[in-house]
Amino acid sequence: MTLESRLWFVAAIAFAAFVALGCIVSRVPPMRFDVEASATRGTATQLAIVFTQSGRFWPLLALACLGALIFAVARWPIWIPLVIFVSQIASQGAIEGAKRIFARTRPDDWLFRHELGYSYPSGHACTSVVFFGAYALAICTLPISRGWKVAVIAIALFWIGGIDWSRIALGAHYVTDVIGGTLFGIGWVCAVGALMLRFTLR
């Protein structure tokens, strides 16, 4: 099995799990662990706001510009940060469509910025994978030292976890919303990666 085939396989599994979970949570009351996890609401609120804000459009645009500048100065392929940012925007469009399909009501308790729209899946959780996770994967393919690669992956994983946690801590999403957004993000990144492999090989 080629790398492209493996990526398509993982993408299919992730998307299937995403749809299955969405069908469940959109038809039943919040699950037990959704309710239990809501007990973390209000913990380290200011830190949670920082993580949440980092997953919004303008901070992501600033980070994308910084990433493009770094790639240009280092003479790395400039198309990589461009593809990541375009992929991020496209994924959020798909997420908004999925929200309307599943139409899950958001939690009642809000601690920061009352957001409109439905709850499943979490757009922030998707962003954490599609943007920050994709950058970590891209860095791993570049000619830099192993130490730098490990550092970048560690920071990316920490930030991904922070964004996911922040959505629950601020009362904006249920745990299953975050899981759904993560599954969608994984499927999206794998599908984009498979397409890029096919494009570059041709």
- 60-107 residue pLDDT tens: 999 999 999 999 999 999 999 999 999 999 999 999 999 999 999 988
159 phi and psi, to 5 degrees?
-70, -40
Closest listed residue to residue 186, CA positions, set 118, 137, 141: 137
What's the rounded Cα separation, in Å, for the pair 72 and 128?
A: 24
Residue 77 located in a structural domain: yes
Determine the length of the chain: 202
Interval 120-169: pLDDT, tens: 999 999 999 999 999 998 888 888 889 999 999 999 999 999 999 999 99
At 37, the pLDDT band (50, 70, 90 cuts) reads confident
Residue 39 located in a structural domain: no
Q: How many CA atoms lie within 13 A of 31 on its CB side?
A: 15
Residue 35 located in a structural domain: no
Residue 111 located in a structural domain: no
Which range of residues forms the domain containing residue 94? 3-26+47-102+118-201
At 201, the pLDDT band (50, 70, 90 cuts) reads low
In the chain, the number of structural domains is: 1
Residue 170 located in a structural domain: yes
What's the rounded Cα separation, in Å, for the pair 51 and 53?
A: 6
Residue 108 located in a structural domain: no
Contact 136, 77 (CB under 8 A): no
Measured from the Cβ of residue 93, the count of other Cβ atoms closer than 10 Å reads 9
What's the rounded Cα separation, in Å, for the pair 199 and 67?
A: 23
DSSP annotation of 116 reads: -
Residue 156 located in a structural domain: yes
Find the angle CA(114)-CA(116)-CA(117) to the nearest 5 degrees. Answer: 140
Interval 173-193: pLDDT, tens: 999 999 999 999 999 999 999
Interval 40-66: pLDDT, tens: 777 788 999 999 999 999 999 999 999
Residue 112 located in a structural domain: no
